Amino acid sequence: MRMSYREAVRAALHEALVADPRVFLMGEDVGRYGGSYAMSKGFYDEFGPDRIRDAPLSELGFVGAGVGAAMGGMRPIVEVMTVNFSLLALDQIVNMAALYRHMSGGQFSVPVVFRMATGAGRQLAAQHSHSFENWYAHVPGLRVVAPGTVADARGMLPAALTYSDPVVIFEHVGLFNAEDDVEEWRCDLERAAIRRPGTDVSIITYGGSLPKALSAAASLADEGIDAEVVDLRVLRPLDRAAIADTVRRTHRVVVVDEGWRTGSLAGEVVAGIAEDCLYDLDAPPRRVCSEEVPVPYAKHLEDAALPQSDKIVAAVKEVTHA
Amino acid sequence: MREFTLPSMGADMDQGRLIEWLVAPGDQVHKGQAVAVVDTAKAAIEVEIWFDGVVAELQAVPGQMIPVGQIMATIVASEEATLPVAPPEPVVQARAVPSERPALRPVASASHVEIGGVRRRVSPAARKLADERGVDLAGVSGTGPLGAVTLSDVERAAAERASVPAPPVEAATAAERQALVRQAIASAMSRSKREIPHYYLSETIPMARAIDWLAAENAGRSISERVLMAVVQLKAVARALDGFPQLNGFFVDGVFQPAPTVHIGVAIALRQGGLLAPALHDVAAKDLSQLMRELADLVARTRAASLRSSELTDPTITVTNLGDQGVETVFGIISPPQVALVGFGRVAPRPWVTEDGTLAAVPTVTASLSADHRVTDGHTGAMFLASLYDWLQRPEDL
Amino acid sequence: MDDAELRSAVIAELRTIAPEVDGDEIRDDRPLRRQVDLDSLDWLNFLIGLHQRLAVEIPEADYAQLVTVDDLVGYLKARV
């Protein structure tokens, strides 16, 4: 079935609300307005204000309420408009949701799903264009996922609702209008996926950078370089076996990550490769990350600051010495 | 196209050194044919291929240390072989676009691992491959960034070297072999005692009938045709196992897999110390004369360190006979992944209460069974020893 | 063949089975298999070797009387 990423998330939310009375959706503008990105359009009328709850502009408050509801036996889906607003709720996510099972000696679990829009590329300027996936991926107690395909946008939410610990889903704003034919969308939140098999180099990426990596691989193919594209999907815990496996086959690696290079997830991936399969590397790994500046507003500057296909192609040529 | 990889020739083996190829590209090979001689901890083993085809490319070179599972050669089906076999392209050749990145081109190829005290740039993967293939990096020129030696450089060097005849590779010396055999036994026996819950049973078996029958048999044979009691015992074990398939096979990944045929691993002491237990194949189906010939051959080749790979991997049960050393009873340790071991002590006259209740001096032997309690219980083991007893009372039926 | 020649034939044959044997250290009046580690197959191969070298038949029934080097030399001397 042909659907957009936006429609896929909406279908997943709808299905979850129908299937389980403990599930409710809470966030800014999710109710009467239909969601900042129209993902809950019509839900307010269908499910009513108890299950589609418009929250005040207080992330610390409503994210905390979601954590409490989860401890009380509900299955809340808390939407944070963009990742930068989640910084206001970090204490509830990192210090409460992630730790309660530990702090209560296993007496409490926190089965909450946090959804947040992430990423740049839509001229939302420096404050609304962050990629802080690595901040959350740093924290034990959280499972962090990034649907990079329409099928994963459809499948990751129901999978997340099966966990009894908090799951953070990062939806990249640049993907919302992407369309694909989706047949099988059921998935796990454990493994990375090979989106394009190849033999010469591994391009490892996730989320909004996945289409860029695939388009780079397509243009590299025209030049005779067969790139494998690996979608990490799950940012915590990282599927290190899949990463090592692809590197052992291709011996060359480029990691693409929209976060800033310093302290990035890309750095974590490369460190894992160094630990797990250094002796399989035939060239130094390369990272394609965002330039270390606040993301610019001006279109041409924003494009220049972010990972793009041509930068990925150049990095691949460097590691394959083509 | 199929890949011929180095098979594991025992739970304790993880690598071997290629001594020589017994086939060349273009040769037809058949399942079971020995295609290479590989020096392992145990012996110089003739490694057999397990499918038919035509040799396309020999990737391993004599002298190379090869991990178990590594590709040694590629084999094509006979019908493919009529096509010319082109050497495979390295995966990523330096795709020549000479003007594109002139800054990264090496000014001059380095030819030594260290130049002016600076460590040579060799990619980790290239270093590993060079080690595996025994390529001296000093002779390899690097074509990667800043003159780094890459995988394709090592592959090219290995291919060039393979085209010139290599000096003969020596098998391990007797002393090295002895140390390796000791290590292999230590590893296998430690694993056995760590993993296998053994139970032990023994049974004293009167041997007068077997001795008399064998003496009469041998009286009519020339000395080189005579059969040893050890062979009679081996055959009796194989026949007795017929009713107890749970004792004959392998315990792998938590599951017992019975073997369809009885290949007895015969424990053979090496003169310099240590032992091997290679397979005497399909013992139940062969007559005593044939088994005697095969055992003599197996012992000779074991002591000459010249075995075939299937002989090390095939044993489905082990028999150890320490009667010549005069012991009463063997309390054996199972050789994983097998699940049983039968031991024989010395055949000698001992006091015995005969069927009519009188005490007599009768030749007897103590047969013992060590078995894996995960697979069988003492009851099964006892029934097996009883069956072995019966078979040794009617040697003419063996 | 005299005793010395027979003895060296016996030792030579023994050394094909057990190369580590030093003929000078073998006591001729002591049981051979107490001095050299020979299993029954080794012993059979040893006797087969003597049979082939000296063309002497050695029936199985006679094995029991062949215990020492002296026994072997005496037995062979009577039959060569």
pLDDT tens digits, B22-56: 898 888 898 888 899 888 776 778 888 988 888 88
Q: If you ran DSSP here, which 8-state letter would residue B169 be given?
A: P
Domain boundaries, chain A: 2-181, 193-320
Nearest to A86 by CA among A70, A103, A62, A120: A62
How would residue A91 be classed by pLDDT, with cut points 50, 70 and 90?
very high
End-to-end Cα distance, chain A: 40
The nearest CA of chain A is from the CA of B313 a distance in Å of 29
Tokens of B214: 């064998």
Using alpha carbons, list the distances in angstroms from residue A71 to A98, A106, A156. Answer: 12, 12, 22
A276 and chain B in contact, CB less than 8 A: no
Q: Is B93 helix (H, G, I), strand (E, B) or coil?
A: coil
Tokens of B265: 């691993």
CATH architecture type of domain C3-77 = Orthogonal Bundle (1.10)
Indicate which residue of A128, A130, A172, A251 is catalytic.
A128
Alpha-carbon gap, residue B295 to A77, rounded angstroms: 74
Q: Among this protein's residues, is A59 annotated catalytic?
A: yes
A171 within 8 A of A208, measured Cβ to Cβ: no
A246 and chain B in contact, CB less than 8 A: no
Nearest to B353 by CA among B133, B179, B154, B204: B204
CB contact under 8 A, B218 and C20: no
- The label of the residue with tokens 């509900």 reads A74
The nearest CA of chain A is from the CA of B88 a distance in Å of 14
Alpha-carbon gap, residue A109 to A99, rounded angstroms: 9
Contacts of B126 in chain A (CB under 8 A): 282
Residue of chain C minimizing CA distance to B214: C60
CB contact under 8 A, B123 and A282: yes
Q: Among this protein's residues, is A300 annotated catalytic?
A: no
pLDDT digits (tens, 9 = 90+) for C2-12: 889 999 999 99
Domain boundaries, chain B: 2-82, 105-162, 174-397
**CATH number listed for the domain at residues B174-397:** 3.30.559.10
pLDDT digits (tens, 9 = 90+) for B354-387: 888 999 999 999 999 999 999 999 999 999 999 9
Overall pTM > 0.80: no
Interface contacts B/C by beta carbons within 8 Å:
41
ipTM: 0.84
Decide if domain A2-181 falls under CATH 3.20.20.70.
no
Fold observed for domain A193-320: Rossmann fold (3.40.50)
CB contact under 8 A, C39 and B218: no
Sequence-distant (≥ 6) Cβ neighbours of residue C7 within 8 angstroms:
C28, C69, C73
Mean pLDDT of chain B: 84
pLDDT digits (tens, 9 = 90+) for B272-316: 788 889 999 999 999 999 999 999 999 988 888 788 888 888 999
Residue B390 in this model has a pLDDT that exceeds 90: yes
Residue B335 in this model has a pLDDT that exceeds 80: yes
Fold observed for domain B2-82: OB fold (Dihydrolipoamide Acetyltransferase, E2P) (2.40.50)
Contacts of A200 in chain B (CB under 8 A): 91-92
- Over residues B94-116, the mean pLDDT reads 39
The nearest CA of chain A is from the CA of B130 a distance in Å of 11
Q: What's the pLDDT score for residue B80?
A: 56
The highest-level CATH class for domain B105-162 is: few secondary structures
- Over residues B231-239, the mean pLDDT reads 96
Contacts of B325 in chain C (CB under 8 A): 39
Indicate which residue of A59, A133, A228, A268 is catalytic.
A59
- Over residues A28-47, the mean pLDDT reads 95
Which of B71, B92, B153 should be substituted to probe chain A, the one whose Cβ sees the most A Cβ atoms within 10 Å?
B92
**Interstrand relation of A75-82 and A52-54 (parallel, antiparallel or unpaired):** unpaired
Tokens of C35: 């001095």
Mean pLDDT of chain A: 97
Domain boundaries, chain C: 3-77
Residue of chain A minimizing CA distance to B143: A321
Sequence-distant (≥ 6) Cβ neighbours of residue A252 within 8 angstroms:
A200, A201, A202, A281, A282, A283, A316, A319, A320, B92
Residue B164 in this model has a pLDDT that exceeds 70: no
Residue A248 in this model has a pLDDT that exceeds 70: yes
